[in-house]
Amino acid sequence: MHAAGFAAALSHQTEVEHIILLNAYYVSVYESTLPSPDMVQLGPDEIERNSAERIAKLENLKQSLLKKVRDGVKISTHLNRSHLLRAVVENSISKNVDLVIMGSKGNSSYSDRHLGSHVVKVAKASPIPVLIVPPVFEFEDVSRVVVACDFNRVTETVPLQALKRLLTRKHPELLVVNVDNKNKHSQHDAQRIAEETDLHAMLKQFNPKYFYISNKDVINGILHFAAEKDAQLVIALPHKYSFLQSLLHNSVSLQLAETSVVPVLLLK
pLDDT tens profile 183-192 = 565 555 676 6
Is residue 240 predicted with pLDDT exceeding 50? Answer: no
The domain segmentation of the chain, as residue ranges, is: 1-8+15-82, 144-266
Residue-wise pLDDT tens digits, 76-92: 999 998 889 999 999 99
Query: What 3 state SS string does 34-94 have?
Result: CCCCCCCCCCHHHHHHHHHHHHHHHHHHHHHHHCCCCCCCEEEEEEECCCHHHHHHHHHHH
* CATH fold label, 144-266: Rossmann fold (3.40.50)
pTM, full prediction: 0.81
Rounded Cα gap, residues 21 and 158, in angstroms = 28
Q: What angle do CA 209, 214, 220 make, to 5 degrees?
A: 90
**Side-chain half-sphere exposure of 133, counting CA atoms within 13 A:** 20
Query: Quick check: 264 and 100 in contact, CB under 8 A?
Result: no
